Structure 1
Amino acid sequence: MKRTLLIIAFAMFSIFSFSQISPGETSDFEIDVEGWEHQIANPNDPVQVADGGPNGAGDGYLSTSSSGAGGSGSRHVFANDNAEWIGDYTSAGIVAFTFDVRNTNATEDLFLRVGFNGTGFNDWAASTNPVVVPAGSGWTSVTIPVEASDLSISGSPTTVAAILANVTQVRILSNDGSDILHKGQRAALTSDYDNIVAVDVLSTPEFEVQNNEFKISPNPAKNRLNISIPDGNGDMKLEVYDVLGKRIFKGLLTDLDSSINVSNWKTGVYLVKISSDKISQTKRFIKQ
């Protein structure tokens, strides 16, 4: 009997030890929703769609929606607490989530963030700054950083480090800054997702040397922001958002090197986004 109990205990320990987040963990939605759902079952639970993902015919993806009407299913958020998506994110070296997203709303932008629940019911941290995906966009690849410096406490008075060391649930949500950060905004929204990947510093494109990234300087800046875009991409749309997700600047970049006057902007953090039919990139800018 003791031998049997020891074997069972070892098996449970092995499952707990090795079935947790690791670099490269992926949800590609080729078969089902892979554990991504709302916390409470409701008519707006995410569904797997077998065809029409970013790779076209035969590529499955996850489609999610929210009613905005109040009650379960009213907020735009989906979550996962399966063993492979929880655990010690810090020790695993996870620095970002990458995924493909399609904003199918006609007029509403998405303000995407990642949220993490710790060991307590109210122990939450979420992305301080959102990645903005414009309304009506086609499939777009985004990167959301999830290191401690990229997150803010959104619940009880714990620490981001404590939450990342013992994540019990991860969620992806749209929040325009009008509500508690780890909660999806209460709005009638739809969006699609594919190829959600947890990446470490060696695999995320944000940390690789790339020739196709735009550059901003100086950063921080007081008076002017210089923007250099990659060669060969043609004219590019420029948008700047504040930390609440409000667009405060819009323009068109027609030259490889451009400069805009920021002297009248309020001191704080902004998101500078450039996009075209080929690429979409966002960088953080600090106005002094």
Structure 2
Amino acid sequence: MVERTAPLTIVPPLPIGDVLEAGFEWFKDTFDAFFDVVDDVTTGAIDGIAALLLAPEPLLVAVVFALLAWLLRSWKLAAGSLVGMIVIIGVGMWEPAMETLALVVVATLVALLFGIPLGILAARSPVVSRILKPVMDFMQTMPGMVWLLPVLKLFSIGVAGALVATVIFALPPAVRLTELGIRQVDGEVVEAGQAFGAGPRQILKDIQLPLALPTVMAGVNQVIMLALSMAVIAGLVGGGGLGDEVVGAVSTLNLALGFDAGISVVILAIFLDRLTASIGSRRPGHGRLRELRGRFTRTPAGSPA
């Protein structure tokens, strides 16, 4: 091995990490009571959803998932979903899979609760957009494993830390694609709505969000996929579910357990991906655009409605 020597440089050492750690310690000590409340609320929500999913017979829940897929898309997806859920039951991964699904559901809801309003605000304000872009870049490009370090400091080992790390990792697509979808709305339709006296809130609700729905749903889909991938990594901090199974398989070199957990993650990912894609395609943006353009441009802008 080649012996390393200190490089000759005129750049002084930059204690960025030390400064951040000191600030983080102050932040933790100051808001410790708040983080205890967050821990209790998030753990209770995830445990409650997991208990709800695990209360009935697994096969009954699998049939409900299949019916949901049939209702939202097609019988082919329903049949594939049912087969996939039966495989999860057969490999003995039903309980951890439902725990992971509960974590993904809560993390997705929290990410969308913050992400969609931030995306709308960024689409309306160039200043907010310029501020959010580097923040989203930082959140999205930072390796997911790194986010486990601060949440461990805040929440120690447990579900709450896994949830917070998952939300941080999965939030950026909700902000970016919501902003993108609203910015891509035809300006003529927005101007026509303004000409007919529609206020900013009405334009957002009746014009921009309906037209941006396919793009927003693409963001929802990405949030779910990132949350699911991070939920497995979060097994390293006690996130439970399939993440714990994967970590256990890696630590014991148990190939069979790792494959069973991995195939269960894949089945959940495919099911959630197809389901959210179906919701986004139920109301095509171009059809809605023609409808609104005809509605608002049928009468000249200077004429009474």
The answer, yes or no, to whether TM exceeds 0.5 is no
Higher strand share goes to which structure?
1
TM-score interval, smaller chain = under 0.3
Taking structure 2 as the reference length, the TM-score comes to 0.20
Structure having greater relative contact order (Cα 8 Å, sep ≥ 6): 2
Based on CA coordinates, which of the two structures has the bigger radius of gyration?
2
Choose between structure 1 and 2: higher helix proportion.
2
Compute the TM-score of the two structures, normalised by the length of structure 1.
0.21
